[in-house]
């Protein structure tokens, strides 16, 4: 911090964080598709000119983690020296720094007047949005894809000129021609460009006020600061080698669980996580690209080791080394399909958490339902496609001090629900008829897991398609230190004729008028033995109808 005083640093760094937050707010508030505007499945941030994350709008942990990887893949093709004002970089390639096809990352370079009147690139405005539909084999979600080509249009790390190629230009027309709901998709792209423009403007204003050198010095110091705080936290943790393991139910084709193994080595001031022993890549979309694996592991370590106020940036990642075997579920070879990568990513999170639980039992949580359930209804009417996609979480795992959070999005994501009244306005082919907490869905313990929930949709027209991927229909979340497991999920179709069909966790099916789809996501696992649960907490859940059976008489019986 040679030329940067403590005050300048504090002021500039807070201003950069505020700018990233503003970018995120405006990205969401001006978006068009339900997945971005209501579910808020998008993120934004500011990067330095080396491609490192400096500050982020804290929206979706999964997308935030590896933005640096995604940008650096672009910069390898299009080095900083070759960029000019008006360019933008784009990438959604799962095999070159991206995650899955729907998450499109856009980067806008920030140029300011530098020395001798030459313009100087100081960083990038970055945004990522989950796009509702980018083509591929089915609207919104193609669960049958056997390779990445069937999952939608792929933008390899590339560079375009905004004026020339967007706003009616060739690139915009290429995108428009390849997606099913171009109005919403192009609108969401515009929201991304605008969010980036806001970030660019704010950084320029800061450079005008404090000078580009100071702003760049602050960007560097912010990363060093996060690194110091993470290393300080690691130094306090018990040292040693710890193992954790969890599994995805199956690959949608066979009944084999897909095992994820993590070996976590905590040394003096760094942590190494090795996924050796994890199963090989699979034929359906449950493969997890390298960036996603990295993101899930980092999110877990950050959540466990550091207080939430430490800014997430590239410095955070420096003390953490991650090794993933190539060709495995967690680092697949192209052209593996990867659409449902959140599911294996959650098992990465769970396996690392279980390993860290041995070292730091007071700072972890038991396994939650921890799954992204993507639930997609679509209908092709006279006016074109109507696509509804929503993301469901479940119950959180319990911890030493608290019950798990009820009915909330899972730790690697943070999607909101769509208001039922807004769905009633926007869609005429289905209606939500129930949205309820699920009693007894959590694992009991000294602290119980969070409750899961169900959402029921009544189908109002014929020729409606349901596509869903979920997990934990077979393998329940495991408790910690004697806590009980959480309940497993299910998806059922109550046909208009009275029959009930039980779906697999990865399924696509045709629906007709009068059918009711019941999507149930389970609760989190408990922490500690239920015998240690305070009476007041049991009584409260009984009175509230969240618990329908008193665990205490059984306990007394067992003791006799």
Contact positions with other proteins (CB under 8 A) in 49-88: 58-61
The DSSP secondary-structure symbol of 443 reads: P
Closest CA to 440 of 373, 522, 505, 543: 522
Q: What six digits make up the tokens of 277?
A: 């022993």
C-alpha–C-alpha distance, residues 48 and 250, integer Å:
40
C-alpha–C-alpha distance, residues 54 and 51, integer Å:
9
**Under the criterion CB under 8 A, does residue 228 sit at the interface with other proteins?**
yes
Please, what is the minimum distance in Å from the beta carbon of residue 81 to other proteins?
28
Tell which one of 402, 500, 532, 539 touches other proteins (CB under 8 A): 402
Please, what is the minimum distance in Å from the beta carbon of residue 254 to other proteins?
32
Please, what is the minimum distance in Å from the beta carbon of residue 453 to other proteins?
7
Tell which one of 244, 411, 443, 445 touches other proteins (CB under 8 A): 411
Q: If residue 249 lies in a helix (H) or strand (E), which one and from where to where?
A: none
Residues in region 424-453 near other proteins by CB under 8 A: 424-425, 431, 433-437, 453
Please, what is the minimum distance in Å from the beta carbon of residue 63 to other proteins?
11
**Under the criterion CB under 8 A, does residue 273 sit at the interface with other proteins?**
no
Please, what is the minimum distance in Å from the beta carbon of residue 303 to other proteins?
5
**Under the criterion CB under 8 A, does residue 2 sit at the interface with other proteins?**
no
Please, what is the minimum distance in Å from the beta carbon of residue 444 to other proteins?
17
Query: Could you give the string, one character per residue 306-335, with x where binding to other proteins holds by CB under 8 A and - elsewhere?
Result: x-xxx-x-----------------------
Only segment of 22-30, 84-92, 276-284, 550-558 that touches other proteins (CB under 8 A): 22-30
Q: Could you tell me if 449 and 397 are in contact, meaning their C-beta atoms sit under 8 angstroms apart?
A: yes
CB nearer other proteins, residue 337 or residue 443: 443
Tell which one of 396, 430, 469, 490 touches other proteins (CB under 8 A): 396
**Under the criterion CB under 8 A, does residue 534 sit at the interface with other proteins?**
no
**Under the criterion CB under 8 A, does residue 409 sit at the interface with other proteins?**
yes
CB nearer other proteins, residue 34 or residue 91: 34
Q: Could you tell me if 445 and 533 are in contact, meaning their C-beta atoms sit under 8 angstroms apart?
A: yes
End-to-end CA distance of the chain: 67
Residues in region 448-487 near other proteins by CB under 8 A: 453, 456
Please, what is the minimum distance in Å from the beta carbon of residue 53 to other proteins?
15
User: Got the DSSP string for 304-353?
Assistant: HHS-TTS--SHHHHTTEEEE--TTBTTSPPTT---TTTHHHHHHHHHHHH
**Under the criterion CB under 8 A, does residue 419 sit at the interface with other proteins?**
yes
User: Got the DSSP string for 106-148?
Assistant: EEEEEEEE-GGG-EEEEEEEEEEEE-S---SSSSS--TT-SSG
Q: Could you tell me if 155 and 101 are in contact, meaning their C-beta atoms sit under 8 angstroms apart?
A: no
Please, what is the minimum distance in Å from the beta carbon of residue 519 to other proteins?
13
Q: What six digits make up the tokens of 266?
A: 């905590």
Please, what is the minimum distance in Å from the beta carbon of residue 558 to other proteins?
29
Rounding to the nearest 10 degrees, give the CA dihedral for residues 378, 379, 382, 383: -20
**Under the criterion CB under 8 A, does residue 108 sit at the interface with other proteins?**
no
Q: If residue 462 lies in a helix (H) or strand (E), which one and from where to where?
A: none
Closest CA to 137 of 389, 467, 510, 471: 467
Query: Could you give the string, one character per residue 118-157, with x where binding to other proteins holds by CB under 8 A and - elsewhere?
Result: ----------------------------------------
Tell which one of 190, 265, 267, 270 touches other proteins (CB under 8 A): 190
Sheet holding 464-469, edge to edge: 384-392, 373-381, 464-469, 506-511
Kindly state the number of chain residues that form the binding site for other proteins, as judged by CB under 8 A. 87
Tell which one of 285, 293, 373, 399 touches other proteins (CB under 8 A): 399
Q: What six digits make up the tokens of 74?
A: 């672009």
Please, what is the minimum distance in Å from the beta carbon of residue 79 to other proteins?
28
Residues in region 330-359 near other proteins by CB under 8 A: none
Rounding to the nearest 10 degrees, give the CA dihedral for residues 69, 74, 80, 86: -120
Only segment of 93-101, 119-127, 228-236, 258-266 that touches other proteins (CB under 8 A): 228-236
Q: Could you tell me if 93 and 152 are in contact, meaning their C-beta atoms sit under 8 angstroms apart?
A: no
């Amino acid at each position: 911090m040679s030329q940067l005083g403590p005050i300048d640093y504090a002021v500039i760094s807070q201003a950069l964080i505020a700018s990233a937050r503003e970018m995120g707010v405006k990205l969401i508030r001006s978006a068009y598709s339900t997945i971005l505007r209501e579910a808020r499945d998008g993120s934004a941030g500011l990067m330095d000119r080396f491609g490192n994350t400096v500050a982020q709008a804290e929206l979706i942990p999964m997308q935030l983690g590896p933005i640096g990887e995604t940008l650096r893949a672009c910069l390898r093709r299009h080095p900083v020296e070759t960029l000019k004002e008006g360019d933008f970089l784009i990438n959604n390639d799962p095999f070159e720094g991206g995650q899955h096809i729907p998450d499109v990352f856009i980067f806008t370079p920030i140029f300011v007047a530098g020395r001798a009147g030459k313009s100087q690139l100081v960083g990038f405005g970055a945004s990522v949005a989950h796009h509702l539909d980018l083509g591929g084999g089915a609207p919104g979600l193609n669960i049958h894809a056997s390779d990445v080509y069937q999952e939608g249009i792929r933008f390899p790390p590339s560079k375009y000129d905004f004026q020339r190629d967007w706003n009616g230009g060739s690139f915009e027309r290429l995108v428009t021609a390849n997606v099913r709901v171009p109005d919403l998709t192009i609108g969401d792209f515009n929201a991304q460009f605008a969010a980036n423009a806001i970030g660019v403007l704010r950084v320029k204003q800061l450079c005008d006020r404090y000078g580009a050198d100071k702003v760049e010095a602050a960007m560097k110091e912010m990363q060093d600061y996060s690194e110091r705080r993470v290393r300080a936290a690691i130094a306090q943790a018990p040292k040693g080698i710890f193992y954790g393991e969890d599994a995805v139910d199956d690959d949608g084709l066979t009944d084999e669980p897909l095992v994820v193994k993590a070996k976590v080595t905590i040394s003096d001031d760094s942590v190494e996580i090795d996924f050796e022993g994890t199963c090989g890549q699979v034929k359906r979309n449950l493969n997890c690209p390298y960036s996603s694996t990295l993101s899930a592991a980092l999110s877990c370590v950050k959540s466990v080791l550091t207080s939430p106020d430490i800014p997430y940036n590239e410095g955070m990642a420096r003390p953490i080394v991650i090794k993933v075997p190539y060709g495995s579920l967690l680092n697949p070879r192209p052209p593996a399909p990867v659409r449902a990568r959140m599911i294996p990513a959650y098992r990465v999170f769970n396996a690392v958490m279980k390993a860290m639980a041995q070292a730091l039992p007071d700072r972890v949580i038991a396994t939650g339902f921890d799954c992204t359930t993507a639930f997609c209804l679509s209908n092709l009417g006279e006016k074109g496609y109507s696509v509804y996609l929503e993301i469901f979480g479940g119950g959180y795992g319990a911890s030493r001090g608290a019950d798990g959070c009820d009915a909330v999005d899972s730790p690697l994501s943070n999607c909101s629900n769509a208001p039922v009244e807004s769905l009633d306005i926007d869609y005429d082919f289905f209606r939500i008829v129930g949205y309820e907490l699920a009693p007894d869905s959590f694992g009991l313990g000294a602290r119980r897991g969070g409750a899961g929930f169900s959402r029921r949709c009544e189908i109002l027209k014929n020729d409606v398609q349901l596509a869903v991927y979920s997990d934990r229909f077979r393998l329940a979340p495991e408790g910690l230190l004697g806590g009980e497991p959480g309940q497993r999920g299910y998806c059922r179709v109550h046909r208009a004729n009275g029959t009930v069909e039980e779906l697999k966790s990865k399924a696509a099916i045709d629906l007709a008028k009068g059918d009711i789809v019941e999507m149930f996501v389970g609760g989190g696992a408990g922490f500690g033995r239920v015998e240690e649960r305070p009476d007041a907490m049991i009584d409260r859940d009984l009175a509230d109808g969240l618990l329908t059976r008193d665990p205490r008489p059984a306990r007394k019986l067992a003791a006799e």
